[in-house]
Amino acid sequence: MSARLTETTWLDAHCEVTFAELTSLSGLAEAELRELVEYGALTPNDPRATQWTFSGECVVLARAAQRLRASFDLDPNALSLAVGLLERIRALESELRALRAQLPRRVR
């Protein structure tokens, strides 16, 4: 039987998820998610809003946080630090890729 075609959603800045959706998608408890926000590892679209919403990129980060917590038994403070550092590495790698793309190759 052939698989049915599925439509997809980008997990990017244009995709918005609620706090409840983010807990359900990441598998993190509400308290854990709040602590990640408190420590600055995740930033809501509007931190002053009464109902937090997050960009789709936060889904990727929160899921990584859940995997790290489960695999390394990290407490919220260490988890926030690890997630923050991973995000910095991702941003630096992306910048490095962009700069490498701009380097001319040898003319044949």
Partner 1 sequence: MKYKDYYAILGVERNADADAIKKAYRKLAHKYHPDVSKDPQGEAKFKDVAEAYATLKDPEKRAAYDQLGKHAPGENFRPPPDWGRQFGDSHAFEGIDLSDLFEHFTGHGRGAGARRAHMPIPGQDYEGAAHISLEDAYRGATVDLELNVSELDERGLMRRVPRSFKARIPKGATDGQRLRLRGKGGKGLNGGPDGDLYMNIALHPHALFRPSGHDLYLDLPLAPWEAVLGATVQVPTLGGTVELKVPPGTQAGQKLRLANRGLPKPHQGAGDLYAIAQIAVPGIVSDKERALYRELAASASFNPRGHFEEEVKHERQTH
Among residues 86, 70, 98, 83, the alpha carbon closest in space to that of 38 is found at 83
Whose Cβ is closer to partner 1: residue 8's or residue 50's? 8
Tell the smallest beta-carbon distance from residue 84 to partner 1 (Å).
13
- Give the residue with the Cβ less far from partner 1, 75 or 107: 107
6 versus 50: smaller Cβ distance to partner 1: 6
Q: Closest CB to partner 1 among 26 and 52?
A: 26
Six-digit token pair at 88?
């910095």
Minimum distance from residue 93 beta carbon to partner 1 (Å): 8
Report the interface residues with partner 1, using CB under 8 A. 2-12, 14, 24-25, 56, 59-60, 63-64, 67-68, 71-72, 86, 90, 94, 97-98, 100-102, 104-105, 107-108
Strand, coil or helix: 14: coil
| Minimum distance of partner 1 from residue 80's CB (angstroms) | 14
73: left (phi over 0), alpha (psi -120 to 50) or beta: left
- Residues 6 or more apart from 51 whose CB is under 8 A from it? 18, 19
Could you give the CA distance from residue 23 to residue 103 in angstroms, rounded to a whole number? 42
